[in-house]
Structure formats: C-alpha cells, structure tokens
Amino acid sequence: MEEKVAMRTVLGTAVAPVVWGSTYAVTQLWLPPGRPLFAAVMRILPAGVLLLLWVRQLPRGAWWGRAAVLGTLNHAVFFGLVYVAAYRLPSGLASTLTAVSPVVVMGVAWLLLGERQPWVAVLAALAGIGGVVVLVSAGGGGTSGAVDPVGVAASVGAVVSASVGFVLVRRWTPRDAVLATTAWQLVAGGLVLVPVALVVEGAPPALDGAAVLALLWLGLVGSVVGYVVWFRGLTRMDAGAVAVVGLLNPVVGTVLGVVLLGEGFGWVQLGAMLVVLGGVLVAQAPVRAAAAGWVERARAHRVGVGVPRGSRSAGGTSEREGAVDAVREPSEPAACRS
C-alpha cells in the first residue's frame, strides 16, 4: 500500500515539470515576441482568477500576507524572469538551467525547515548540476555561439526565487488547502506583475489564434494543473525530494527544442539529458521513503498510536509534526485561517 501511494505521489508531482518543460518552445513559437512580462501576467493572473472562482474562498488572517509573499516569489518574480530567459535562450539550455533547483531547494529547506536530505538525493542534485555545467561551458543547448549572460542570470534568478517560495509552501500550506492557496498565489503574483508590465512594456499586444491557444495551454494546464499537483507534492514529501523530480523539466524542454524548434542535438546535449534522467531515477528511493513515511504517520494517528518526541521519519520531518498535520486535514477553512 505504501509503495502504491509513494508512486502515485511521485507520478502526480511529475506532471508539473513535464508540462513546464514546454514553456520555452511554446513561448518562442506562438507568443508575441519581446513581451516577457505580458506573457508572465497572462500565464498566471487569468488562471488564478478562474481557480479562485472555483474554490470560492478568500484568504483569512495571516494568509493575506503569506499569499502575497508566495505569489511574489513563486509567480511574479519567477515567471517574469523565466520569460526573459525564454526569449533570450534556446529552449534546451533555458530549461536545463533549472536543474540547479534541487540543490538550492535543499539548502533553503535545511535553513528554514531543518530538513536534512539523504545522500542519494544530494547525489542526484549534484548530477543535475554537473549536466548544467557541461552544457553551459560547451555553449550547448541549441546555440553555436556565446551564451546570453542576461538569459542565464534570469534563469538562475527564477530558480532561486521559486526555491525559496517552494520551501515556504511546504512550511505554511496544510495538505487539504492546496487548491485555495494556489489560487491566492496566482492572483497575488499576477497583480504584482500587472503594473510592472504596463510600465516596462506598455499596452498589451494584439493576439492571434495561435497565441490565445498557447496562453490557454500555459495558463490552464501549466499554471492551474501544474501548480496544484506540484504544491500537493510539496505537502507530502521533502522539498528537496520534490525538486529532484523537477529535473524532468529540462528533459522535456530539450526534446521539444529539438522537435519543434530544430535546435541542435549532439553528444553534449545527449550526455546532459542522460545525467538529468539518471538523477531523477536515483532520487526515487528517498522520494518513495518520504511518501511511505507520510502514510505511516497518518495511519499511526488514525489508530491513536503515540510517537516519541523528536523522532524523525524517512522524509526528514518529525513524527510529532506529521501527527499535527494529520489533525489539520479535515478542516480546510480552519487551516487557512492561521
């Protein structure tokens, strides 16, 4: 039973990076050129409004401030920089740079949550970083010339911003409140970006049918579905373990860059892709252990089994904390009020 729950959690979480890997190719093919902030606003604000209408629940208490912080980190800053990178870098290189995310998330999770990652997860993260170093140093990812430093800086900045935001999601979000808190973040992030986009880029551009369909894909599937399953994974696994699953993003981005954009694909790209895929596979052991530990804590709580103070599960969080989380599950509105 624990194995099935673990794999279901991993596969559900993996939907997000697979969808997000299409961002770069879709942006370059069908969105208006030179409008990264407009693309970012349209990616998150309409999706957030639709999801908010669906859940019909507003933040309460501390969640007004938390929604603003998470929306700014996970959506406003992140997508603003992601689209700058998408316009300046080849799809394969831009998406592969996101491989630095696991090690950043692990560091932030250790600082803010005290989570210590197993050596297997650390090894997987370092493998992803190794792939990035090889790709960038060789000028790979579909470019034969020098790598655009602004695009690289934007991509790395996006990863750092989202990594901090993801760890805060794990710290603040109850497991039963993912839909509502995702809606609040998307709306908050969109509202932060709107005035910035108007000042920097001016009035919105005209959109053709292909651009509208591209924005629907990126907003409804990429933002609503992607972030709901991603944040759900963050409430059930270690932040570092979830970030390692995110290494699927560069694999999808590289493949789509080759298939849709005709970007170069040689031994460097193949080697980097194999390194990233290997990192994801290696990381499955701690991911499964973290999910199984969550099931064990929830089961122990249901049958009233006491847990020694200070003991730790495979996921890196204390058993006492897991029991407290389980108490919160039945009441989403109450959990969101804190």
- List, for residues 37-77, the tens digit of each pLDDT value: 999 999 999 999 999 999 999 999 999 999 999 999 999 99
What is the model's pTM?
0.73
Render pLDDT for 147-206 as a digit per residue (tens, 0 to 9). 788 888 998 899 899 999 999 999 998 888 999 999 999 999 999 999 999 999 999 999
Q: Which residue has the higher pLDDT, 236 or 44?
A: 44
Kindly state the average pLDDT of the residues 221-244: 86
Q: Which residue has the higher pLDDT, 304 or 263?
A: 263
Domain boundary assignment for the chain = 2-337
SS3 for the chain, per residue? CHHHHHHHHHHHHHHHHHHHCCHHHHHHHHCCCCCHHHHHHHHHHHHHHHHHHHHCCCCCCCHHHHHHHHHHHHHHHHHHHHHHHHHHCCHHHHHHHHHHHHHHHHHHHHHHHCCCCCHHHHHHHHHHHHHHHHHHHCCCCCCCCCCCHHHHHHHHHHHHHHHHHHHHHHHHCCHHHHHHHHHHHHHHHHHHHHHHHHHHHCCCCCCCHHHHHHHHHHHHHHHHHHHHHHHHHHCCCCHHHHHHHCCHHHHHHHHHHHHHHCCCCCHHHHHHHHHHHHHHHHCHHHHHHHHHHHHHHHHHHHCCCCCCCCCECCCCCEHHHHHHHHHHCCCHHHHHHC
